[in-house]
Structure 1
Amino acid sequence: MNSVPDGSRERQAEAPGNAGPGVWLLPAALAALALGAAIVLRRSVRRRLQPFAPIFIGESLEAPLTESPATLGIAHNGGDTKEGMELVRAHNVDVVEIDVALVGGRLDVVHTPPRIIPRLLHPLVYTSATLDDAWRELPAGVDVYLDLKTRGRRTANEVVRVIEGNGERTIYAGSSDLPTLGFIRSLLPDAETVFYPRTRMGLARLLAMDPLPVRGISIPPDNLDAAVVRRAQGAGLFVWTGIVNDRRRVREVLDWQVDGLISDDLVVLAGLREGRVGA
């Protein structure tokens, strides 16, 4: 009978090929944990980035008004979903807003861009419709307002590409970042850029610039009144405001002769296009 020396048995037990099942438990557990984390992250990110269209069909107009027939009606986030685009098409609004962000080198329809996620991981945890996808759903005769959720020259370059490739529509590009809008205008001097000053002080700083770096502003109604509107328009800016859904507030804002009204109420927006806004 052959015998194996004790030292040989110890060396065989220590050999990699003879490792017991317990050796693989830790790597397997770590791999399962990583996979689970990726699944949870993907679901949470997709839920967080899911576009939404808050537009709705309000009550019929009972008392048509014609004081501000020139005011544009802008459908707030109306182009962020197919459902929203269908409602925009049915109600014949002037301008549809689409939230966009530069993700993976392209403009996607995104309300909240994935700033916390490294760019290399975007394909793993993030999916969304591209702006090109949304463009195919646009109704004929409706202009577009791109609300830029990312900043910088790369975003500006993509916006310019969109504007240059779609000359049949007026395309507005809005941002709270003046340098991004400046990049756009450096490439397209006639681009319809819209700045968000947010406050009257921010607007005052903008009006002090010579020449003005943008074509228009979008400012909350709480920071506006008739005098502020006249001052901005007198400087050569068009003035938008929103989001306004209350009918009495709509009438008040229209009395200021704003150039554009951002609203979720499709009945109000359709009435604006027809020169009628009701209480």
Structure 2
Amino acid sequence: MSVTIAITGKGGVGKTTIAALMVQCLVRLGETPVLAVDADSNANLHEALGVSYDASIGGIREEALQHARDLVGVSKQEFLDLRVQEALVEQAGYDLIVMGRPEGPGCYCYANNVLRDVIQRLAGSYRHLVVDNEAGLEHLSRRTLLKVDTLCIVSDCSVRGIRTARRVAALVEEMGTPVAARGLIVNRVPEGVLPPVVRAEVEASGLPLLATVPADDSVAAMDAGGMAVGDIPADAPARQVVNALVAEMLRAAQGGRA
């Protein structure tokens, strides 16, 4: 059974970079195959991974609607299944599928339903799913993910950011989203040390602190230059912290299966 890691949080906190680093770490550890899911309508996980894509779930949905009358001898579901397989970006150790942005009003519900069906159909072929969610709880609220093994709520290193993460966790609880474990990742922490006021807010949140990812010049340079996480050195502090977190998640998952 596949293990699903979902990354969420407010916009601009570095969710996509962390998701891409997690994918790379899982591949390096041989925990393959991995399915990377860009569930953000404003797709950019492919850029962080250094790949391109030709089709998205949103685009496939539009295509199916436009050509529904032309599908002779092929059901809409068969057409979707075929196009989804073609939309998978296949890389060494992982595949990428992109949600994309559907056109027209009232399309997101259907596109989310398609994404949920796609993930459900594909999940059995992968050891791990890493899902980069858009800012907010759109996909969690619409139950796009039928289960989440670890929900990583990413925040910047600020009291306001931690409070936002706390609200995200509360909303997840209210929605009854099936989450086995959840925790907080504080990103871009100066020198890797939480200021006392931020640490106090983390403790008050009641969320387990999964990791404090230090502010890292190599990551900042990657973001500024539009480069991929592959350009981040192996010994970069941010990469090392994410690698350690992934290793801990794997140990916890193996313990749960024992």
Judging by fraction of residues, say which structure has more strand: 2
TM-score tier by shorter-chain length is 0.3 to 0.5
Larger Rg: 1
When the two structures are superposed, what TM-score results if normalisation uses the length of structure 1?
0.36
Which structure has the higher relative contact order (CA within 8 Å, separation 6+)? 2
Judging by fraction of residues, say which structure has more helix: 2
